Amino acid sequence: MSANTQQVVGPNKVVAVYFTLKNDAGEVVETNRRGGKPLIYLHGVKAILPGLEQSLEGKKKDEQFSVTIPPALAWGDHRPEHVEKVLRSTLPADMSLQVGMLLRGTDPNGRPVAATIVKIEGEDVTLDRNHPLAGKTLHYDVIVAGIRDATREEAMHGHVHGPGDAHH
């Protein structure tokens, strides 16, 4: 490989990106660009949203681009069956509930679950267990901050190892 061969985003590359995520209204939902750390991920193993990963394929360091990602390539459709009414008494009594509040807990199998309160009517609380971005079209502004080859171990494990990570 010649010295001036530029790294390109593809399988077995560890990629660092800065991004700003906006919704259809143009409001910033999430960003790591204001003094944040770059998102560092292993490309090609679905570590990030499929639409975002596809858009990064073939990009070079310092490349900057915008991409619009439909729900199917992001958090999926909003599923009405994941919206349910529960009794206020089934939720922690010391919690002051508000519409829009995100509740986090674990299901009976110990897996983390999250639900957004969408309505409170007397004793009835309506919870939406969809991901908050389900059904949403996402607009990303992306900068490729760095690209390197994954180590053999990272490629085998399917994830990035940080500096000083213990072997596992």
Applying CB under 5 A, which residues contact Zn ion?
157
Minimum distance, C-beta of residue 152 to Zn ion, in the bound complex (Å): 11
Bridge pairing between strands 83-87 and 39-42: unpaired
Residue 31's SS3 state is strand
Nearer to Zn ion, 68 or 151 (CB): 151
Minimum distance, C-beta of residue 140 to Zn ion, in the bound complex (Å): 27
Minimum distance, C-beta of residue 158 to Zn ion, in the bound complex (Å): 8
CA 15 to chain centre: 15
User: Token digits for 16?
Assistant: 């660092």
Nearer to Zn ion, 25 or 166 (CB): 166
Minimum distance, C-beta of residue 42 to Zn ion, in the bound complex (Å): 10
Q: How far apart are CA 86 and CA 95, in angstroms?
A: 15
Minimum distance, C-beta of residue 11 to Zn ion, in the bound complex (Å): 17
User: Which residue has the closest beta carbon to Zn ion?
Assistant: 157
Nearer to Zn ion, 131 or 157 (CB): 157
- Across the chain, where does the E strand assignment appear? 13-22, 28-31, 39-42, 64-69, 83-87, 102-106, 112-121, 124-128, 138-149
User: Token digits for 52?
Assistant: 């975002």
Nearer to Zn ion, 16 or 114 (CB): 16
Nearer to Zn ion, 15 or 142 (CB): 15
Residues across the chain? 168
